[in-house]
Structure 1
Amino acid sequence: MSDCGCDKAKDGLEDYLRNEVAADFRAEIEEHLKGCEECSSEAHIHTVLTEVVRRTCNSEAAPTDLHERVRIALRATSH
């Protein structure tokens, strides 16, 4: 397996962390992260920030009428 390099790893990092990359590209990024402290640090920071945002957002409930407002707005834009 070859190392994909920093530029390619950083370009695909968000998709990789969301598990939205093909298996072969995933393996390339994983190989790169094993040997690159800068990119693995960036991946770790992204993961931590994503978890903090997820926990923060999950603690607040959306307004009860939000679903209906979104549905109405989507209908209006599709016509």
Structure 2
Amino acid sequence: MTDCGCEKAKAELEEYLHNELRKNDAADIQEHLASCPDCSSEHLVGRTLTEVMQRACKETAPEDLRDQVLIKLRALQASH
């Protein structure tokens, strides 16, 4: 493994956060994050946003709200 540098770490951070990189590339970025405060900080922000979005996507709207939205969508579709 070699330190990949800030440019590569920042360019591939999104893929790293979603475990979409090959093992070697992920290991290089992980090594870089361990030694670079700037990239580590960006990683923390990205990881936090990813976790918040994942939690938000698991929540469902209340039944009455869904019904109201569907009624409005159907009304809009009927008028076009």
CA-based RMSD of the aligned residues comes to 1.9
In structure 1, the partner of 2:3 is 3
Q: Report the alpha carbon displacement of residue 24 of structure 1 after superposing the two structures with TM.
A: 0.9
Deviations 1:5-41 (A, max 9, x none): 0000001111111111011111110110000011111
In structure 1, the partner of 2:78 is none
Bigger Cα Rg: 2
Number of residues of Structure 1 aligned to a counterpart in Structure 2: 64
Report the TM-score, using the length of structure 1 for normalisation. Answer: 0.71
Q: Report the alpha carbon displacement of residue 45 of structure 1 after superposing the two structures with TM.
A: 0.7
Q: Which consecutive residues of structure 2, in runs of 5 or more, have no partner in the other structure?
A: 67-80
Q: Report the alpha carbon displacement of residue 60 of structure 1 after superposing the two structures with TM.
A: 2.2
What is the percent sequence identity of the aligned residues? 50
CA distance in 1, matches of 2:53, 2:22: 26
In structure 2, the partner of 1:39 is 39
